[in-house]
Amino acid sequence: MQKALRARYILFCGSQPLYGYSVIVNNDKIEDILPNSEVNKNKYKIINLEDCILMPGFINAHIHLELNWIRRKLIPFNSFSSWLAQIIDLKKQTSKKEMIINSVRKSLKESIDSGVTTIGQISSYNGLDFQEIIRSKIRTVYFFEVVNSTMPNIDKSFFRKLINLDRKDKNGMFNLRLFPHSIYTLDTEKLQNLFKIAQNRKINLGIHLSESRDEIRLIQKKKSGLEDIIFPMLPKRPKIKIKSDSPLSYLNNLNKNKQRILLVHMNNLIKADLKILEREQYGVVLCPRSNLFLNQRLPNLKFFLKYKNIGLGTDGLSSNFSINFLDEIKSLYLHSKKFAKKNCEKIVLEKATIGGARALGIENMVGTIKKNKKADLIAFRIKNDNPFMSVIDSNNNDLKLSMINGETIKLK
């Protein structure tokens, strides 16, 4: 039986909120949006959300589900490279599969409980996260992470399994991407090789980029913490052959075939980088709380709040105090108010929904409430007369409904 989600307000179903409408869900898709007065109770199973705001599910476009366990073990640090050195050491010391799987399980629960229906997961343990993700029923853009030492994993059976799943998935629940970790953990030749592999297999890419000042200094061939602290910890020093003005100009020059690459962080940019972004329209994910956690500057919000292909991510608990997506939204809102003088609350929620979908390349499926799009929907109890502010002011207890691919995951 078709479902009718009857709400007080509906957001992102057009330029303005709808008042007193229902979203009709048939199987996994949105079939129609009707005034409540036109909803036939005999035809539809009514889900009463008349004290709620219904909207597209949140898209956490960058998360490390597996790193939940690291938070308890981190000690204070004073630079990006000293933090990264801790992460490398901790990952070397920890090989307990159950602990990592438990981290994934907890991170998924916290994500879903805060209204997330799609994740951009960075998978760095060669599939330990996979079964928990499938079991959770969350929509996933799955970034298979690669560094110099893990390049051989691309030729192993698990990656071939992912390629087959990506091709067979008709519901868009699993979307495979390749994720070279960064420009400083891969030889230039290996990074170029990953571009070729992605192009041949028709897979999009993602990468951490311009996350730290050390990264900029490295690509400019200047002394940096990466050179002094990180490279001696690696099996082999990365062979970065090209000097450039910025990490983005380096990457863009390597991207000869104009492949789709998601750029994560992008909080240390020069003026020329903004021109590259305007020209190439790369997808970008901002993780502002992670940047602050790592003693780095915030992204250029004046620029990025107007940028179309941009989403929001929590990063992982290795570089954040929580992966609660509502916390990330609140933080972005507070930092954005001085740049977006009008409709800041709407702009921020756009980044948390359709912006993330565009950045991940899945905007045809999710991100807005529209006929024939996937029924990934959430509903929050009303707390403010402004429906956008009401959502930003919400917490987990205010989430009344979570629906993914037409299946009710949570209903209070």
pLDDT tens, 138-193? Answer: 999 999 999 999 999 999 999 999 999 999 988 999 999 999 999 999 999 999 99
pTM of the model: 0.97
Average pLDDT (365-389) is 97
Average pLDDT (351-370) is 98
Domain definitions of the chain by residue range: 3-56+368-411, 58-360
Name the CATH architecture for the domain at 58-360. Answer: Alpha-Beta Barrel (3.20)
- How high is the pLDDT of residue 344? 97
Q: How far apart are CA 117 and CA 268, in angstroms?
A: 29
Tokens 């690509």 correspond to: 219
Residue 213 confidence class, pLDDT cut points 50, 70, 90 = very high
- How high is the pLDDT of residue 94? 73
- How high is the pLDDT of residue 412? 86
Tokens 């091709």 correspond to: 167
Q: How many CB atoms lie within 10 A of CB 286?
A: 30
- How high is the pLDDT of residue 294? 96
- How high is the pLDDT of residue 93? 83
Q: Do domains 3-56+368-411 and 58-360 have the same CATH topology?
A: no
Residue 242 confidence class, pLDDT cut points 50, 70, 90 = confident
Q: What is the mean pLDDT of the chain?
A: 96
Q: How many CB atoms lie within 10 A of CB 31?
A: 17
Average pLDDT (2-12) is 96
Find the length of the chain.
412
Q: What is the Rg, in whole angstroms, of the alpha carbon atoms belonging to the chain?
A: 21
- How high is the pLDDT of residue 282? 98
| 381 Ramachandran zone, left/alpha/beta (phi>0; psi -120 to 50) | beta
- How high is the pLDDT of residue 170? 84
Classify domain 3-56+368-411 by CATH number: 2.30.40.10
Amino acid identity of residue 46, one-letter, is I
Average pLDDT (16-41) is 95
- How high is the pLDDT of residue 157? 92
- How high is the pLDDT of residue 268? 95
**pLDDT at 92 > cutoff 90:** no
Average pLDDT (377-389) is 97
